[in-house]
Amino acid sequence: MANTSINPFETAKQQVDIVAELIGINDGVREVLKHPKRELAVNFPVRMDDGSYRVYTGYRVQYNMARGPTKGGVRYHPQVTLDEVRALAAWMTWKCAVVDIPYGGAKGGVVCDPKHMSREELERLTRRYASEIAPIIGPEMDIPAPDVYTDSQTMAWIMDTYSMLKGYSVPGVVTGKPISLGGSEGRGEATGRGCAYVIREAAKDLGLKVKGAPVAIQGFGNAGSVAANILNDEQGAKIVAVSDSKGGIYKADGLNPHTVEEHKAKTGSVVGFPGAKSISNDEVLEAKADILVPAALENQITKKNADKIQAKIVAEAANGPTLPEADAILFEKKVTVLPDVLANAGGVTVSYFEWAQDIQGYFWALDEVNTRLERTMVRSYNAVHKVATERKVHNRTAAYVVAIQRVVDAIKIRGIYP
């Protein structure tokens, strides 16, 4: 679903320039903010089930360490590029800063098609990739996590591989692990839950009732489905449209997201759900809804379709779904955009909680995790909303002002070594 003709790293650098002009960052610091600290590209062989060998390319980019060790997911996708990984690492830097957790940003990726690989092939690929990047990861340096087409099992393989290389168990090397290996309660639903919390807060400021409000969700994966469930179950919203990579469905009087999940689990897609109208992913974005949650891949909302969006709130559960020129159009239309660095930061927030629990060897109950997550997301939304209101800018710029200022402060206080 990604629009691969647009370089996401150029988008990420444009966003830095916008904020640098706004808050007066000097040219030297601006250059630091527009360059990753460290990049590793690896090419490694994997034995396939038929006995043949195939060479895969993987990346790990550590963007900025001024505020602490870097943090970020690993994605498996045939369209992974170095510039995409750079952009995602940059966005992770700002995401960690906007929710004020002591991390910098990183990202990893392997160019592969996991849909056409067996579990055994994925395990061998994961372990070899983990061994290749092992010199630059660790609980005090860089902590990977799940992302597109990776999951808790992937993290377990990385954790085990790294631990075997060290000679002792190191649960804090990754987050998003199974509970039995030091994972945190609430981590699986944290991105969608955090998104639902900021939607609730934004709706309050707009005077919009979430209860009964129609919601469209592009991308019914982990983040999108959890956001749908929480908006439906806990806030009383009406889910009218959802989609995945194969297409979308629409039902004006509302879909039961749990039943849609069951249908997708059985058939592999939301398409064909009984009683719903089939629509395209583009039509999901343009559906008649008060709240739109883009939860698929980047570059979905552009200058071509931004004017067709009917939602009053656009909450970015995906990374980078809205291009800068689309931001301007939505702002002009008075659409409240809750940017990715805020709206989907629940995942990295609970990843931080998981890491903190691993380091302490002391684990929290689910209600404590969710209470801490809610507190963090509400505080972060309020900080962004305050800047947006005072400076009369849209929320993405406000979030970047909050985040980049925190990173700049850390860079300046630490100084440039030597």
Would you name the residues annotated as active-site residues?
107
Report how far Cα 284 is from the mean position of its chain's Cα atoms.
Answer: 20
- Contact 289/208 with Cβ under 8 angstroms? no
SS3 263: helix
- The beta strands (E) that lie in 88-159 are given as 104-111, 142-146
Instruction: Name all contacts of 38-46 with Cβ < 8 Å and 24+ positions apart.
Output: 38/62, 38/136, 39/82, 39/86, 40/132, 40/133, 40/136, 41/82, 42/129, 42/132, 42/133, 44/128, 44/129, 44/132, 45/128, 46/121, 46/124, 46/125, 46/128
Cβ neighbours of 120 (radius 10 Å): 11
Q: In this structure, what are the phi and psi dihedrals at residue 237, rounded to the nearest 5 degrees?
A: -70, 165
Q: In what order do the strands lie in the sheet with 277-279?
A: 277-279, 247-255, 238-244, 214-218, 291-294, 313-315, 336-338
Q: Which residues of 159-195 are buried (b: 16+ CB within 10 A; e: fewer)?
A: bbbbeeeeeeebbbbbbbbeeebbbbbbbbbbbbbbb
- Contact 58/133 with Cβ under 8 angstroms? yes
Q: Beta 70-77 vs 104-111: how paired, if at all? A: parallel
Q: Tell me if the bond preceding 418 is cis, omega within 30° of 0.
A: yes
127 CB-contact burial (10 Å; exposed 0-12 / middle 13-18 / buried 19+): middle
Alpha-carbon span 134 to 366, nearest angstrom: 31
Rg (CA), the chain: 20
217 beta partners: 242, 293
Tokens of 396: 């993405």
